[in-house]
Amino acid sequence: MGEHIIKLPDVGEGVAEAELVEWHVKVGDIVREDTVLAAVMTDKATVEIPSPVDGEILWLGAEIGDTVAIGSPIVRLKVAGEGNAKPQGAEAEAVSAEPPAKLPTPKPEAAAPVVKTSPKSDEPKAKPAASQKSTAQPSVPGAPRPAGERPLASPAVRLRAKEAGIDLRQVAGSGPAGRIGHEDIEAFLARGPQVAKASGLARNDAVQDIKVVGLRRKIAEKMSLSKSRVPHITYVEEIDVTALEELRAALNKEKRPGVERPKLTLLPFLMRAMVKAIADQPNLNSLFDDEAGIVHQHGGIHIGIAAQTPSGLVVPVVKHAEARDIWDCGAEVIRLAEAAKSGTATRDELSGSTITITSLGAMGGVATTPVINHPEVAIVGVNKMMVRPVWDGTQFMPRKMMNLSSSFDHRVIDGWDAAVFIQRIKTLLETPALIFVD
Partner 1 sequence: MKEISCKLLVIGAGPGGYVCAIRAGQLGVDTVIVEAGKPGGTCLNVGCIPSKALIHAAEEFEKVSHMAGGKSPLGISVTAPTLDLARTVAWKDGIVSRLNSGVAGLLKKAGVKTVHGWASFRDGKTVAVETETGVQVIRAETIVIASGSAPVELPFLPFGGRAISSTEALALSDVPKKLAVVGGGYIGLELGMAFAKMGAEVTVIEALPRVLAQYDAELTRPVVKRLTALGVEVMLGAKAKGLSTKGDALLVETSDGKSAKVAAEKILVTVGRKPVTEGWGLEQIDLDMAGKFIRIDDQCRTSMRGIFAIGDVTGEPMLAHRAMAQGEMVAEIVAGHKRSWDKRSIPAVCFTDPELVTAGLSPEEAKALGGEIKIGMFPFAANGRAMTKLGEDGFVRVLARADNHLVLGIQAVGQGVSELAAAFGLALEMGARLEDIAGTIHAHPTQGEGFQEAALKALGHALHI
Task: Give me the residues that bind partner 1 (CB under 8 A), please.
Answer: 128-131, 134-139, 152-155, 158, 162-163, 165, 175-179
Q: Measuring CA to CA, how many Å separate 285 from each of 64, 262, 302, 399, 408?
A: 37, 27, 8, 31, 11
Whether 374 sits among the annotated catalytic residues: the reply is no
CA dist 238 and 217 (Å) reads 35
- We find the least distance from the C-beta atom of residue 180 to partner 1, in angstroms, to be 8
Closer by beta carbon to partner 1, 175 or else 352: 175
Nearer CB in complex with partner 1: 154/423: 154
Q: DSSP character for 133?
A: T
Alpha-carbon torsion, ordered 283, 289, 290, 293, to 10 deg: -80
- Minimal distance in Å, beta carbon 134 to partner 1? 6
Q: Which of 133, 135, 62 is nearest to 102 (CA)?
A: 62
What is the nearest approach in angstroms of partner 1 to the Cβ of residue 186? Answer: 18
| Catalytic hit among 122, 280, 289, 414 | 414
* Helix residue ranges, H only, 296-399: 326-342
Q: Is the CB of 188 or the CB of 408 nearer to partner 1?
A: 188
- CA separation for the pair 178, 144 (Å, rounded): 9
Cβ of residue 116: shortest distance to partner 1, in angstroms? 24
Are the C-beta atoms of 28 and 57 separated by less than 8 Å?
yes
CB of 122 to partner 1, least distance (A): 17
Q: Is 42 in contact with 15 (CB distance < 8 Å)?
A: yes
Residue type, 56: E
CB-nearer residue toward partner 1: 11 or 180:
180
CB of 163 to partner 1, least distance (A): 5
Catalytic hit among 54, 298, 410, 417: 410
Long-range contacts, 28-36 (Cβ 8 Å, 24+): 28/56, 28/57, 28/118, 28/120, 29/56, 29/57, 30/55, 30/56, 30/57, 31/55, 31/56, 31/57, 31/77
Tell me the residue type at 293: G
- CA pair distance 287, 154, nearest whole angstrom: 67
C-beta of residue 184 within 8 angstroms of C-beta of residue 158: no
Q: Which is nearer to partner 1, 153 or 321 (CB)?
A: 153
Supply the minimum distance, in Å, between the C-beta of residue 28 and partner 1. Answer: 24
Q: Do 262 and 431 contact (CB within 8 A), yes or no?
A: no
Query: Among residues 65 and 176, whose Cβ is nearest to partner 1?
Result: 176
Q: Give backbone dihedrals phi and psi of 263, rounded to 5 degrees, phi first.
A: -75, 130
Q: Contact at 8 Å (CB) between 68 and 20?
A: yes
Query: Which active-site residues does the annotation give?
Result: 410, 414
